[in-house]
């Protein structure tokens, strides 16, 4: 006996649609594809903006490394906000779920986190970055001088810069967060607590974290002061050692330029 041709469930659905319904369905499909492509293009542009700012920071770090034999930036990390996070933020602001609403109202779609060794490095790096003539500083939130109630500390900058694409130049916004290693360690742990669904004794843990934030802030300050004392008390021989072997070795060490 010959078996009937096997058909997928969707085939029955499409066979029962009128021509007008099919046209409407196709229009919706085209709209969804177009929206997805536009979203992908927008994310590509934000990703390029991240690369531009990251390159600027890496150039600053390399320059300071050669000039002063010290890297103020320990490491840099980057991220793009995920779609669900973007839509939640739009809903919180009572804004429509559209690409234009994202672009016009959310400043931290593209984010860069800069980790420095010392507190004064944070402000030095921020000043050097925002002094560049193609960078526009739109907003500053200093959570180091004015910590959040839970103890969170970091310097947040919203910057805007032109990015050149194949057919246009577009001003893009990037959030730059600059903090010390200790501040970042604290923020990472606090983030884990924030996004856990259920945590027993949460209030006690929050209180402990707040106390740790104060300890970390005091340690950061003390470490910076110790570094300053080391620099101030470094021996400076009165005798001219310009031609000694030791002095020559020190000068040759300056040729240890970071590789590309």
Residues taking part in catalysis: 175
Q: What is the DSSP letter of 199?
A: -
> Which has the closest alpha carbon to 210: 181, 184, 238, 190?
190
- Helices then strands, counting H and E runs in the chain, come out as 8, 5
Gyration radius of the chain over CA positions: 27
Token pair for 59:
């150039």
Type and span of the H or E element at 114? strand 110-116
Type and span of the H or E element at 138? strand 136-142
Which string of b and e fits 220-245 if b means at least 16 CB within 10 Å? beebbeeeeeeeeeeeeeeeeeeeee
Q: What is the DSSP letter of 255?
A: T
Chain centroid, CA 202 distance in Å = 28
Token pair for 20:
């007008």
Q: Are strands 110-116 and 169-180 parallel, antiparallel or unpaired?
A: parallel
E-strand ranges in 109-197 read 110-116, 136-142, 155-164, 169-180
């Amino acid at each position: 006996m010959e078996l009937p041709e096997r058909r997928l469930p969707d085939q029955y659905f499409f066979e029962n649609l009128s021509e007008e319904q099919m046209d409407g369905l196709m229009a919706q499909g085209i709209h969804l594809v177009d929206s997805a492509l536009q979203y992908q293009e927008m994310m590509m542009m934000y990703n390029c903006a991240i690369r531009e700012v990251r390159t600027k920071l890496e150039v600053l770090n390399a320059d300071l490394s050669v000039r002063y034999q010290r890297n103020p930036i320990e490491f840099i990390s980057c991220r793009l906000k995920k779609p669900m996070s973007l839509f939640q933020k739009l809903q919180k602001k009572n804004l429509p779920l559209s690409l234009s609403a994202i672009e016009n109202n959310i400043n931290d779609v593209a984010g860069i986190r800069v980790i420095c060794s010392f507190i004064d490095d944070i402000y030095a790096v921020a000043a050097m970055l925002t002094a560049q003539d193609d960078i526009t500083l739109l907003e500053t939130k200093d959570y180091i001088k004015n910590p959040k109630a839970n103890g969170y500390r970091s310097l947040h900058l919203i910057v805007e810069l032109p990015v050149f694409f194949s057919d246009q130049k577009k001003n893009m916004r990037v959030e730059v967060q600059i903090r010390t290693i200790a501040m970042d360690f604290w923020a990472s742990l606090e983030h884990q607590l924030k996004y856990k669904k259920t945590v027993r004794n949460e209030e006690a843990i929050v209180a402990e974290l707040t106390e740790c934030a104060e300890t970390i802030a005091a340690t950061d300050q003390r470490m910076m002061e110790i570094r300053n004392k080391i620099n101030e008390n470094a021996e400076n021989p009165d005798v001219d050692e310009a031609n000694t072997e030791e002095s020559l070795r020190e000068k040759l060490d300056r040729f240890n330029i970071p590789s590309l």
